[in-house]
Structure formats: C-alpha cells, structure tokens
Chain A
Amino acid sequence: MAVKSLIETVTVGAGGAASIEFAAIPQAGSDLMLVISLRSGRVAVAEEYRIHFNGSTANLTTRYLEGDGSTVASATSANGFIGIGGSSTSTASTFGNQSIYISNYTSSNFKSFSVDSVMENNATTSYQDIVAGLWSSTAAITSITLTNGTGSNWLQHSTASLYKIKYD
C-alpha cells in the first residue's frame, strides 16, 4: 500500500519571492510529489517555470510536449524547464498549476520525474505541457528549488505543497 502525506505547504506573501526552496527534505519516503500553483511577476502573459535539485542547475534534462492553444510543439531543455504558467498580464487572479512526481528520490540511481502543467488564461494563448525529466545525479534529493526563466518574483498567494509517498 502507498501512503501519501503532506510534508509542508508554503504560500508566498505580499512582497513576493524570487524562489521557493524546500530544504532538508526527509529521506524516509519512496517518492515525492510537488503540487504548485504559481504566478510570476514578469510583465508578460506567460512565464517559464523551472526546477532544480540540491542547489544544482547541472545534469538536468527534460523533454516536453506543449500546446499553446494554436500549435503543438515538442522539444528538449537543459535548464530545468517544467512548463509554462501565467504571469502578470495573464487573466487576473489566475495561477499556473503543476503536478511534479519524482520517483525514488533517495536512490543512488539517476532521478526521473514527470510533470503535468497547465496555465489558466482566458484567451487563445494558454499553455499546457507534459514533461518528462531526468536529473542525472546519484545523490539523494535533499532540496528542491522552484524558479522561473526570467528572474521574476513569484507573486503573492502562489503556493507550493510537498508530499511524501511511502510504500509499505
């Protein structure tokens, strides 16, 4: 049987935050799941969301399938790309939602992860991404950092929740 339990939830306050980091992640689980709802302060409709493990931006590869409301694309990335979400000129009071599943985060193998990502925007342009990722490191994951592609702040009311999945 698998048991999923919430480790912690964080909500961005009024001043915004450049990044969100979960540090000293307990090593007692099997998998991790990160559920995030973010909005960027970038002055544009959309923002590229990124993830890093253990403070490193290296050894990360992702392949994604993306729809933007008009076209479909598939590409790879080496910067921790995990999808596109809303920023300050997308529909007001909406947030991008992503679910990130990281298998076997404590193992001594490379770490694979998958992402379902959607952006809320009441217009033709609104992104959806399915992402397959690999962190080519044998180290256990002890921290996860959420940033974006433009160095903009995450806005107030953005949230991130980290869950642990433990198999009996």
Chain B
Amino acid sequence: MAEVPVKIVVDLSKPKGERESIIPLTKAEIDEREAMAVEAEAQRVTDEAAAQALTDLKTSARAKLVAGEPLTEEEAATLVF
C-alpha cells in the first residue's frame, strides 16, 4: 500500500519536547497536492517550450545579423538595448 503523506505540525503551546506531531494528510489535502503537481507539470512544459522558442529566436536573430539579413519583429524583440 502506498505510504500516506504526512505534515509536521509544531504546537508551540506545548512544552518543549512534546510539540512536534507527524500528522497524515486528509484526502482533501492529498487531492489538493495532486492537483498542484499536475498544474506544476503543465506549467513546466509550457515554460520549457517558451524558453526553447526564445532560444530559437535568438539563434535565428544572431545568424541573420551576421549574414546581414532582415530580422522579423519577433527576432528583433529578443535584442536587448
């Protein structure tokens, strides 16, 4: 059976040495974590695609500058002045 995820809760109203509790997550908390993981993975894919697209534009812009060819608007936007 898969291990149930837990959270650490430190109850500072208790005496030292008795404050820390390891508490299993509720189903609602587990579902929320899983939804966050799915959303984060989708965001990671989107971010990686955007980063690759920017890299490709910069590479193309550099090549065109060297060759003396006109840049597209998108390629020109990658230049920092």
Residues of A within 8 A of B (CB): 7-8, 10, 12-13, 15-26, 42, 44, 149-153, 162
Contact = CB atoms under 8 A, between A and B. Distances in A.
Given A10-B10, A24-B14, A153-B5, 5 more contacts: A7-B12, A12-B8, A17-B7, A23-B10, A26-B12
Contacts, number: 66
A166 to B, nearest CB: 15
Contact of B10 (A8, A13, A18, A26): A8
B24 to A, nearest CB: 10
A13 B22 CA distance: 10
Nearest to A12: B8
A42 B33 CA distance: 12
Interface of B: 3, 5-14, 16, 19-20, 22, 25, 29, 32-37, 40-41, 44
B12 A10 contact: no
A96 B44 CA distance: 20
Contact of B44 (A13, A24, A25, A44): A44
A20 B40 contact: no
Given A7-B12, A23-B12, A25-B12, A151 B37 contact: yes
A59 B41 CA distance: 26
B8 A17 contact: yes
22 contacts: A8-B12, A10-B10, A10-B20, A15-B6, A18-B5, A18-B25, A20-B8, A20-B10, A21-B9, A22-B10, A23-B11, A24-B13, A42-B40, A44-B44, A149-B40, A150-B36, A151-B33, A151-B35, A151-B36, A151-B40, A162-B10, A162-B12
A61 B50 CA distance: 26
